Structure 1
Amino acid sequence: MQKIIFEDEKVHRRKTDSDHANYLRIIGAGLPRTGTSSLKAALEQLGFGPCHHMAELFDKPERSILFSRALDGHEIDFHELMKGYGSTVDAPTQIFYKEIHKAYPKAKIILTVRDTGEKWFESMTNSIGPTATDISYYIAVYPIRFLRLQCIVAKKIFKKWMIEYGEIGPRIHDLYNARVINENKKNELLVFNVKEGWPPLCKFLNVPIPTDIPFPNVNDTKYIQHAFFKARLFGWSAWGCIVAVGAIIICFFIELMRF
C-alpha cells in the first residue's frame, strides 16, 4: 500500500544510543497544531528519539485501536504502549500525558503553545480539523484502514474536548494550557513556543545547543492541506476499485445464471 507522508522528509536527525530505548524521557503535553511536529524533529535531533506523534498511527494502525479504547475509558498499560520511544508529542498521547507520566515518572514535560487561542484554532480548522469534523473526508478515506482508524481517534478526541470545554473553539487552547500549568510544578514543566528555538528547550533538557542545524520548522498548514488532498484521492481511488470489482462480480453472476 502506498504510504502517505505527513512529515517533512528533508528533516534529518542524529541517531544516538538512546534511540529505541525502553524508557520515555520526554512527554509533550501540548495540543496538536502548537508546533508538535517541529518539536518532534527537534527532540530526535537532540537524541531523544524515536518520538511518538499522531503520524505514528498511519504506519501502526493497531495503535489507533488501543488509543481509541483508551478514549472510551478502557484501562491501557501506557508503560507497555510507549515502550521503544524516547519521547512523545501531539495527540493522542497529549490527552493522556498524566497517565503516561505516572508510568514514566522521571520523564520531563513540555507544554507547546501558540501565541493566541485564535491562531491555534485557525491552524486547527485549516489543517487537521477535517479528520474529526468533515464527513466527506471520512467517507472518502473509509476504505483505507489506517486512515479510517485515525479519523475515529480524531473524532473521539473532539468529542472529549466538547465534553470538557463545551465547544470546539479558541478557548480550548487557553483553558487547557492553564490547566496543565496548574497541574505541574513550575520547575518541572517547560512552557514552550517553538518560535523560541533551541535555547529554552536545550536548557530545560540540559543538553548543548546545536550550532550546525537550525531549529526545525515542519508541517505548515499548506503542507498538511496537500497531504489531506492526496489522502482523499487515495481514498476515492480505492472506492473506484471496490466499485469496479463489485461490478465485475455482478456481471459474472448474471452471465452464470444465463446457463
Structure 2
Amino acid sequence: MNAIIFGQNKVHKRKSASDNASDLRVIGAGLPRTGTSSLKAALEILGFGPCHHMTELFDKPEQSILFARALDGYEIDFHELLKGYGSSVDAPTALFYKEIHQAYPKAKVILTVRDNSEKWLESFKNSIGPVGLDIFFYIAIYLIRRFRLQCIVVRKIMQKWMTEYGQIGPHIHELYNARVIQENKQDELLVFNVKQGWPPLCRFLNVPIPEDIPFPDVNDTKYVQERILLARRVGWCTWACLIAVIAVIIYFFTSFMKL
C-alpha cells in the first residue's frame, strides 16, 4: 500500500544472490505509511529480497484474490503464496504477520513506526486513503481487473481496521503498534523508525552496514497521488469507451429494426 498500490518505480537494484530466495527471513509487521517502501529497499540491498509489498499485487492479481479470501477469514497457504520471497513488508502481509511467522518461525519480525500517530494519519489521508474509502474511485477503476482486485484488498483492510479499532483515526497507529509489541518478546522484535537508518536494522539482522550506500529514503506520497489520479482517469475513460460502444450498438440495432 505504501507507494501506490498500482505499481512503483524500483529505487535500488536487488542483490542477485537473493533473486531466488528459498525462505522468508524477515517479516515486516508495520502498518502502511510507516516507511515500508524504504524498508523494502533496504532489505533488498542487504540481501533479504525479493521483498513482498502491496505493489506486488499489481503485477500478480491472483495474489489479490488470495489475500481477499484471507481477509474474509479463509485459510491460505502462506508458504505457497510467499514462495520465492526473502522478506515481506506493508499490507496485506503485515496484517497476517503472526500467521506468516508460524509458517516461517525462524524469520525475524520488524515493526516500522512513524514519529507519532498524527503524522501517520496525515500520510495515510494524503496517499492511499481514497483508494479504500472513496466509493467513486472504486466505481471508476471497476472495469480494470487488476486495479479492481487490488482496490478490493485495500477496502477489506480498512474495513478490518474499522471493525477492530472503530473509525479511521490516529489511534489505529498507536493501538496496532502496542498490540504487536505486546505479542512479541522484546529481543525478538525490532521496533524501527526508518529515520534511524542502517545501525539498528543491521544489528538486528546480524549483517554488516553497507559501505557508501545511504539508507533508502523513499518518500512516495506525491507518486502515490499521481498514480491514484492516473488510475481514476484511465478508469473513467474506460467507462466512457464502453458506454460509447453500447450506444453505437443500440443505434445500429434500432436502425436495423426499422428497416
Which residue number corresponds to residue 9 of structure 2? 8
Which residue identity is paired with 1:211? E
Shift of 1:128: 0.2
Partner of 1:67: 67
Residues 13-58 of structure 1: per-residue CA shift (max 9 Å, x gap): 2423222222111100000000001111111111111111011111
> Matches of residues 1-259 of structure 1 in structure 2 within 5 Å?
6-9=7-10, 11-259=11-259
> Any idea what SS the aligned residue of 1:110 has?
strand
| AA matched with 2:149 | L
Q: Secondary structure at the match of 1:17?
A: helix
Moved more, 243-252 or 199-208: 243-252
Is the 8 Å Cα contact of residues 26 and 87 (structure 1) preserved in structure 2?
A: yes
State the secondary structure of the residue aligned to 1:44.
Answer: helix
> Which consecutive residues of structure 2, in runs of 5 or more, have no partner in the other structure?
none
- On the 8 A contact 1:57/1:150 being kept in 2, the answer is yes
Identity between Structure 1 and Structure 2 (%):
71
TM-score (normalizing by structure 2):
0.94
Q: Gaps (5+ residues) in structure 1? A: none
Shift of 1:5: 5.8
Report the CA distance shift for 1:16/1:206 in structure 2 as closer, same or farther (over 3 A). farther
Query: Is this contact kept in 2: 1:28–1:109, CA < 8 A?
Result: yes
1:76-119 deviations in whole A, cap 9, x for unaligned? 11111111111100000000000000001011100000001110
Contact preservation (8 Å) 2:6, 2:147: no
Structure 1 pair 163/49, CA: closer, same or farther in 2 (3 Å)? same
**One-letter code of the match for 1:70?**
A
The answer (yes or no) to whether the contact 1:6–1:219 under 8 Å persists in 2 is no
| Distance in 2 of aligned mates of 1:176 and 1:148 | 27
Q: Does the CA contact (< 8 Å) of 2:14 and 2:49 recur in 1?
A: no
Bigger CA drift: 169-178 or 18-27? 18-27
Alpha-carbon contact 1:35-1:112 (below 8 Å) kept: yes
**SS at the partner of 2:169?**
coil
Runs of 4+ aligned residues of structure 1 deviating over 3 Å after TM superposition are none
Q: How many residues align?
A: 255
What TM-score do you get using the length of structure 1 for normalisation?
0.94
Given residue 185 of structure 2, which amino acid in structure 1 is its aligned partner? Answer: K
1:163 to partner: Cα distance: 1.4
CA distance in 1, matches of 2:212, 2:146: 37
Does the Cα contact within 8 Å between 1:19 and 1:48 map onto a contact in 2?
no
Q: Once superposed, what is the RMSD of the aligned Cα atoms?
A: 1.4
3-state SS of 2:17 partner: coil
The one-letter amino acid of 2:221's match is: T
